[in-house]
Amino acid sequence: MAEFSADNSNEPTIPKPALRALPSPGRPPVEADIARDNPDLVIRRMNLNESPIQPSPKSIVAMQEACTRVNRYPDPQWRELTAAISEETGIPQHRIVMGNGSDEAIVSAGRLSVSPGDEVLVPVPSFPSYNNAAAVNGGTLVTVPLKADGSNDVDAMIAAATDRTRLVFAASPNNPTGNVLTSEEVERLALGIPDTTLLVLDEAYYEFGIHDGGEDHLAVMAKRTGPWAVFRTFSKAYGLAGIRVGYILAGSDEIANAFQKMRSVFNVNAVAQAGALAAWHDKDHRHMLLEKTRIERERLVAGLTALGAEPFPTVANFVTAKMDRPAADIVAALLKKGVMIGRLMHPGYENYIRVTVGSDEDTDGFLAALKDVLAS
């Protein structure tokens, strides 16, 4: 066996210096770490915007059956899935590109549009992967603060776009705040961002917005003359975060082809394709998940407000709230009680926590633990 020295000071470095400046992917605490110190704790995962509800039983059966066929490669064009998505969205099948989660689409968007020196426009705070999409390609990040209600400020984004802007990320609902854009706002953005820019509308929480009475933005995005893409995922409303399936609805054949060129050939495995397809067709299960999420979200918002917190308006499966003290202290104290939540890492948001909607026991457990922490 080869021997490796613990001293890595003389190890070779990577040839792409921009990568060195990037933070490594997050390593959130896992149950095992917490349980090691206190095996009796009930652990509540309320930090990653997952669903506490298992996927559709039909999806589980489809995945089990698919396991018997994994000696074969998966369909590299995900035909059954894209046919089903095309039928419901109206986007032609060949303009739908599946990804290993929508995170893969975010990475690809940077690779296909950004060259060194180009500008990438992002709302802040928003999903951190957008920043990486800029940084790994040598792009310059231009940040635009959110509006006070936590939604993207589309007019400020249009004003910040220049002839160097190659990529704009907008999100509705926005993570970490949870608020949506109106179709009127999306239309302004779609028509106001220069045609030399790829406009991405990240709709990872799309289904929650629609369930809450929000508007569908696809038709107004299609009014754009420049390049555009909408990203959605099976991770949230389908309870399938673990199988990693997301998709791109592309605004033109060329944009779809560009995303196709960026991916690895078999990027969505056969078990994941089968599970996503069965979940897509199980509308009752999706409705149940969305409705339970809405009920628990409202209980979380009410409970947080009663404890003096100030939550952003949210339609998503998480609640972000301003607290009266540093969020880092609250997160650490809750972790000791087995409750895993997140906090905002953006300057100016030091007192903001983000809590994923869980089961009804999670809501009660979190609120009781938070009450204790705030009283101490």
Residues engaged in binding ligand PLP (CB under 6 A): 49, 101-103, 127, 171, 175, 202, 204, 233, 235, 241, 246
Min separation Cβ 236 and ligand PLP, Å: 7
Min separation Cβ 42 and ligand PLP, Å: 24
Min separation Cβ 295 and ligand PLP, Å: 21
Min separation Cβ 10 and ligand PLP, Å: 37
The tokens describing 134, both together, are 């800029």
CA torsion through residues 197, 349, 365, 149, sign: negative
Judged by beta carbon, residue 168 or residue 367, the one nearer ligand PLP is 168
Q: Which residue has the tokens 């300057």?
A: 347
Report yes or no: 259 and 248 within 8 Å, Cβ to Cβ: yes
CA dist., res. 335 & res. 44, Å (int): 9
Residue type, 277: L
CA dist., res. 99 & res. 82, Å (int): 11
Judged by beta carbon, residue 113 or residue 172, the one nearer ligand PLP is 172
Best CA proximity match to 216, nearest among 327, 91, 54: 91
What ranges make up the beta strands (E) of the chain?
44-46, 96-99, 119-124, 140-145, 165-171, 198-202, 228-233, 246-250, 310-311, 318-322, 339-343, 352-356
Q: Which residue, judged by CB position, is nearest to ligand PLP in the bound state?
A: 101
Judged by beta carbon, residue 112 or residue 133, the one nearer ligand PLP is 133
CA dist., res. 12 & res. 360, Å (int): 51
Report yes or no: 91 and 217 within 8 Å, Cβ to Cβ: no
Min separation Cβ 107 and ligand PLP, Å: 10
Judged by beta carbon, residue 337 or residue 352, the one nearer ligand PLP is 352
Judged by beta carbon, residue 316 or residue 370, the one nearer ligand PLP is 316
The tokens describing 16, both together, are 């792409």
Lateral strand order in the sheet of 228-233: 96-99, 246-250, 228-233, 198-202, 165-171, 119-124, 140-145
Min separation Cβ 234 and ligand PLP, Å: 7
Contacts of 336 (CB under 8 A, 6+ apart): none
CA dist., res. 167 & res. 215, Å (int): 24
CA torsion through residues 67, 68, 70, 73, sign: negative
Judged by beta carbon, residue 233 or residue 320, the one nearer ligand PLP is 233
Judged by beta carbon, residue 239 or residue 303, the one nearer ligand PLP is 239
Judged by beta carbon, residue 44 or residue 236, the one nearer ligand PLP is 236
Min separation Cβ 202 and ligand PLP, Å: 5
Min separation Cβ 352 and ligand PLP, Å: 16
Judged by beta carbon, residue 109 or residue 367, the one nearer ligand PLP is 109
Min separation Cβ 163 and ligand PLP, Å: 27
